[in-house]
């Protein structure tokens, strides 16, 4: 059964966000590079999911009725790993082995090695299909579990995303929640310049989904929308997608919104500048 987690205060959730961003900085220092932009942009999304919404049991990672989480944008795993470690899925000391030879913490998560990971990420575009399959399996099992997929907005250029979206919408897969980390940056530059997908929410609605835009850095807004998803799920409504409007590199003021920091390396005095910005930015909220 799930480990019960008491409702955490906004201050406690905000503190988790600072800790995760600091851990992302540490993982980049170990690796020699980091996906700063897409990792920082989804911190509040993952913190709100893991510390408040999803039903999980770190003592029994393979618990059959756990909620499923698919990190389709697997290059943001340095956001996921410190959360899993903090919840007790594996020792925190392992975070220091990130990407090192023999470590199970690679630069994309491996479900065969990392407790708490339900999907081995790699090439983009597959995650929604996997989450859809898991949601259908939950129906067959008559299980109450929810399936959540986190996608990047650049990832929406993949045609497979829309095949899965069409099926889920047509069949009202109500236990499926997709979240788009719409940070407006991909590895090739601004998503608007590479392939403009706006209005994203209207496209999902055309595929039969309940689509809402949300401030992807507002913990309170995210939690409110998760509660609404749960209400629709209980009523057998359509699948839900949240378009999380976020900022690439959120928290580090001198890299925010800059496509060149999708992946890079902060060293020397810039590390302290970044850490100071992270703590200052979070305390302002």
Q: Each residue of 115-126: pLDDT tens digit?
A: 999 999 988 999
Residue 5 included in any domain:
no
Q: What is the count of structural domains for the chain?
A: 1
Examine residue 1 and state whether it is found in any structural domain, yes or no.
Answer: no
Is residue 254 in some structural domain?
A: yes
Residue 4 belongs to a domain: no
Residue 178, SS3 per DSSP: strand
Residue with the two structure tokens 């890299």: 255
Question: Would 33 be classed as within a structural domain?
Answer: yes
Closest CA to 249 of 264, 236, 267, 262: 262
Residue 3 lies in a domain: no
Three-state secondary structure along 209-241?
Answer: CEEEEEECCCHHHHHHHHHHHHHHHHCCCCCEE
> What's the pLDDT score for residue 7?
79
Contacts of 104 (CB under 8 A, 6+ apart): 94, 97, 110, 113, 114
Answer yes or no: is 82 within a domain: yes
What CATH code is carried by the domain that includes residue 157?
A: 3.40.50.970
* Domain with 108 in it: 10-283
Position 282 scores a pLDDT of 64
**2 lies in a domain?**
no
Close Cβ partners of 116 (under 8 Å, ≥ 6 residues apart) = 56, 58, 61, 84, 87, 89, 90
> What pLDDT was estimated at residue 122?
86
Residue 43's closest CA among 55, 25, 66, 61? 25
Computed over its alpha carbons, how large is the radius of gyration of the chain?
18
Is 101:30 a contact under the CB 8 Å cutoff?
no
What's this model's pTM, rounded to 2 decimal places? Answer: 0.95
Task: Sort strands 240-245 and 176-182 into parallel, antiparallel or unpaired.
Answer: parallel
* pLDDT tens for the 285 residues of the chain, in order: 455 455 789 999 999 999 999 999 999 999 998 999 999 999 999 999 999 999 999 999 999 999 999 999 999 999 999 999 999 999 999 999 999 999 999 999 999 999 999 999 988 999 999 999 999 999 999 999 999 999 999 999 999 999 999 999 999 999 999 999 999 999 899 999 999 999 999 999 999 999 999 999 999 999 999 999 999 999 999 999 999 999 999 999 999 999 999 999 999 999 999 999 999 876 655
């Amino acid at each position: 059964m799930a480990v019960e987690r008491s409702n955490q205060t906004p201050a406690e959730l905000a503190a988790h966000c600072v800790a995760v961003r600091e851990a992302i900085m540490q993982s980049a220092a170990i690796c020699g590079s980091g996906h700063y932009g897409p990792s920082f942009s989804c911190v509040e999304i993952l913190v709100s999911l893991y510390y408040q919404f999803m039903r999980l049991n770190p003592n029994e990672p393979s618990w059959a009725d756990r909620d499923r989480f698919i990190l389709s944008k697997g290059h943001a795993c340095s956001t996921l790993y410190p959360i899993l470690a903090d919840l007790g899925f594996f020792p925190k000391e392992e975070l220091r082995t990130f990407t090192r030879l023999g470590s199970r913490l690679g630069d994309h998560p491996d479900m065969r090695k990392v407790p708490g990971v339900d999907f081995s990420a790699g090439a983009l575009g597959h995650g929604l299909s996997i989450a859809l399959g898991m949601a259908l399996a939950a129906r067959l099992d008559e299980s109450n579990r929810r399936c959540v997929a986190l996608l990047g907005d650049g990832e929406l250029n993949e045609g497979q995303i829309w095949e899965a979206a069409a099926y889920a919408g047509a069949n009202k897969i109500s236990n499926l929640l997709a979240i788009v980390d719409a940070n407006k940056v991909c590895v090739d530059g601004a998503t608007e310049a590479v392939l403009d997908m706006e209005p994203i929410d209207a496209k999902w609605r055309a595929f039969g989904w309940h689509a809402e835009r949300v401030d992807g850095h507002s913990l309170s807004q995210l939690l409110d929308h998760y509660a609404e998803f749960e209400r629709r799920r209980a009523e057998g409504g359509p699948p839900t997608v949240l378009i999380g409007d976020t900022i690439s590199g959120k928290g580090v003021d001198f890299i925010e919104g800059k496509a060149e920091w999708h992946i890079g390396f902060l060293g020397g005095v810039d590390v302290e500048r970044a850490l100071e910005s992270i703590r200052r930015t979070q305390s302002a909220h």
